[in-house]
Amino acid sequence: MVASGMAAYPANSDGVPFDMSHIYASGNIAADMYCNLTAARTGRILASRLWNATEDPGMKKMLGPAPPHSGAQKEQMK
């Protein structure tokens, strides 16, 4: 508290200050955008797999609405 001058101190729950080490920038905008897209897509795939793997209504509510099926999956489900 003394170090921050009685103001809010940006730190995680363990008291470790945020240092932006989780931000990656290569200087190549296209490559950075591709990496961001890949990370976002990976998260969506993981959420979709978790949604389909669970029967717990609370878990499904937390994960959000049912993930959309691709055209191939719709044909298989008929």
What's the CA angle centered on 62, arms 68 and 75, to 5 degrees? 15
Cα dist from 34 to 24, 30, 43, 48, whole Å:
12, 6, 14, 21
Residue ranges in 1-78 assigned as alpha helix (H): 29-53, 57-63, 71-77
Residue 73 has pLDDT above 60, yes or no: no
Mean pLDDT across 31-59: 89
Domain count, the chain: 1
* Domain carrying residue 49: 29-65
| pLDDT value of residue 3 | 62
Report yes or no on 78 lying in a domain: no
Residue 69 has pLDDT above 70, yes or no: no
Report yes or no on 2 lying in a domain: no
Residue 66 has pLDDT above 80, yes or no: no
Mean pLDDT, the chain, whole residue set: 79
pTM of the model: 0.51
Residue 1 has pLDDT above 80, yes or no: no
Report yes or no on 77 lying in a domain: no
